[in-house]
Amino acid sequence: MEEWTILEMQARMQSGEINSLQLINKYLDRIEALDRNGPRLNSIIELNPDAQAISEKLDMERGEGQVRGLLHGIPIIIKDNIDTADRMTTTAGSLALEGSIAPQDAFFVTRLREAGAVILGKANLSEWANFRSPYSVSGWSSRGGQTRNPYALDRNPCGSSSGSAVAVAANLCAGAVGTETDGSIICPSQTNGIVGIKPTLGLVSRSGVIPIAHSQDTAGPMARTVTDAAILLGAMTGIDPHDQATYPGQVYPDYTQFLKKDGLKGVRIGVARNFFGTNPLVDKIIENCLEAIKAQGAELIDPANIKHTAKIEKTELEVLFYEFKNDLNIYLSNLDQNVPVHSLDEVIAFNERHQSKIMPFFGQERMLKAQEKGPLAEKAYLKALETNHRLSRDEGIDATMKKYNLDAIVAPSGNPAWLVDYVNGDCGSGGSSSPAAVAGYPNITVPAGFVHGLPVGLSFFGKAYSEPVLIRLAFAFEQAVQARRPPQFLPSVNIQQMG
C-alpha cells in the first residue's frame, strides 16, 4: 500500500483487488501503528468515526456502476482549521474551540465529498495556523501536541499545515488538504518531501476555513505526486456564492489535462537568485535541479530576481493583524453558543485562564497585537494592503515575468527541517513563499533532493491563475528528477549520511 498513487488505488478498486472499505481499514491500521504508536508521528488530531460507513456506501455505488470520478472511495485528511459538519470537531488545534462542531461543511469539503473522497480525519497543525506567537514551535498545538517529522523524529515538520504534510509523507492517507497564508502549505510540503500546491487566491473557496487573513488565505492540496495534487485541486475548485473571490474564469474541474512529461520543452523560466544563499547544501541541490530543467529543453533566465521581497514583510504583517481580528471575529460569532469563545478578545482571555496548558512554551503576542487594531476602514490598513499588492504584484512577480518574458519563476522552497526547540522556538525556513503568498498568486513545491537525509523542494510560481502552466512544469520536473523517497522514521539525522 505504501506509495500507492490515487490512480493506482482506483485501478485496484476497479479490478476488484481491493475496495474502499478495505483501503480505509489499511490506512487506519497504519495510522494506529505509526501515528498513535511506534514513532508516534502525532499528525492526525481526530479520526472520522463515519469513514468506514461512508466507504461502504461508496463501494455500493461502485458495485452498481456509479463511479463519481478519480477520488471515488479515496481517503483524504484535512487540516483541523477546515469546517466539517459531521461528528468531527474543528478547532485550529486550540483548546479554546475543543468540542466545536461546524454548522456546515467548508465549501470545498462539500466538493470533495461530492467527488467521492472519504474524509478520513483531521490533521494536527500549528495552533491557530501559526498566528499566535512569533516564538511558536511549528507543528505544536495545545489540543494535538507536537507533530514529528517522519524523516528525523527530533526535527520540526514546519507549519502550519504540519499534520497534513506528515500524514501524506508517511503514507497515512492518499492526499491531504492544508491551508496557507504565507508558507503554510509550501514549507511543510517541502520539509516533508511531498508536493504542495498553494493556489491563486479565489481558485478555492475560503468559506468554512478558520481564517487569518482574507487577502492571503487559501486551502490547497498536498500529495506525494504532482498528479495526485492535480486530481485533488480539480475537485476542490468551484464558484462559491458565499465567497466573492471565487468567480467564473480560469478555473478547471480537471487539472490532470495539463500533466505533460515534455512540459519543460521550449519554456522560459526565471531563476530568483535572491532566495539562494541561506544554505550552501540546498543551493547545490537546486543547481542540479536547474541543470535537469535545462536538459528537458527549458531556457533559464538567470538571474531573474523579484524586487522588494525584503520590503514586504512589515506591511504584510500589518495587514495580517488587521484582517485576523476582523475575520476571526466574524468566524467565531457564528459558532454554537456552547463554544466558550466568540471573539478574539475572548480567545485571548481563555488562553490566559488556561495558560499552563495553552501557553507552556510560547505566548500569544500576535493575538494581542491584532486585538489592538481597529476596523478595516482605517488608513493604516488600506495603505499597507495597497503597498502589499503593488510590491508583490505590479512591481514584483508581474514585473519580473514581463521584463524577462517568463512562463514561471523558480526558487528554493526552503531549508531542511530544524530541530524541535521549545526554548527558542522556530529558527526560520529560508523560504521563498512570500511574494506569491502576498500577491495571492499560485506556488507549487516539488521534491528536489535531500540534505543529510532531510528533504528540500523546488518552488514554481507565476501570475494569477497560472496553475495549468505551473502544474505542467512541475510534473515534467518531477518526472525528470524523481527525487521523492519515503521516510524511514529515524530518531535523528543519520550521522553516516553526513560523511
In the set 55, 136, 184, 459, the catalytic residue is 184
The grid cell for 315 is 506591511
The contacts of residue 290 (CB under 8 Å, 6+ apart) are 271, 300, 302, 410
Could you list the beta-strand ranges (E) of 169-216.
Answer: 175-180, 195-198
Cβ(439)–Cβ(409) below 8 Å: no
Backbone angles phi, psi at 371, to 5 degrees: -60, -30
Rounded Cα–Cα distance for residues 157 and 140 (Å) = 10
Is 122 tagged catalytic?
no
The contacts of residue 409 (CB under 8 Å, 6+ apart) are 269, 270, 271, 272, 304, 306, 397, 400, 401, 460, 461, 462
Please state the separation of Cα 359 from the chain's center in Å. 25
Residue 222's beta-bridge partner residues? 176, 196
**114: phi > 0 → left, psi -120 to 50 → alpha, else beta; which?**
alpha
Residue 226's beta-bridge partner residues? none
Residue 444's beta-bridge partner residues? 197, 460
In the set 55, 160, 215, 429, the catalytic residue is 160
The per-residue DSSP string of 153-182 comes to: TTB---SSSHHHHHHHHTTSSSEEEEEESS
Rounded Cα–Cα distance for residues 51 and 148 (Å) = 25
Cβ(117)–Cβ(151) below 8 Å: no
Backbone angles phi, psi at 82, to 5 degrees: -115, 125
Cβ(448)–Cβ(481) below 8 Å: yes
The grid cell for 55 is 466507504
Is 79 tagged catalytic?
yes
In the set 79, 122, 325, 463, the catalytic residue is 79
233, 283, 388, 396, 498 from 305: Cα distances, Å: 29, 16, 18, 9, 32
- Strands of the sheet containing 408-412, edge to edge, are 44-47, 118-123, 75-79, 175-180, 218-223, 195-198, 443-451, 454-461, 408-412, 268-271, 299-301
Could you list the beta-strand ranges (E) of 286-435.
Answer: 299-301, 408-412
Residue 455's beta-bridge partner residues? 450
Which residues participate in catalysis according to the annotation?
A: 79, 160, 184
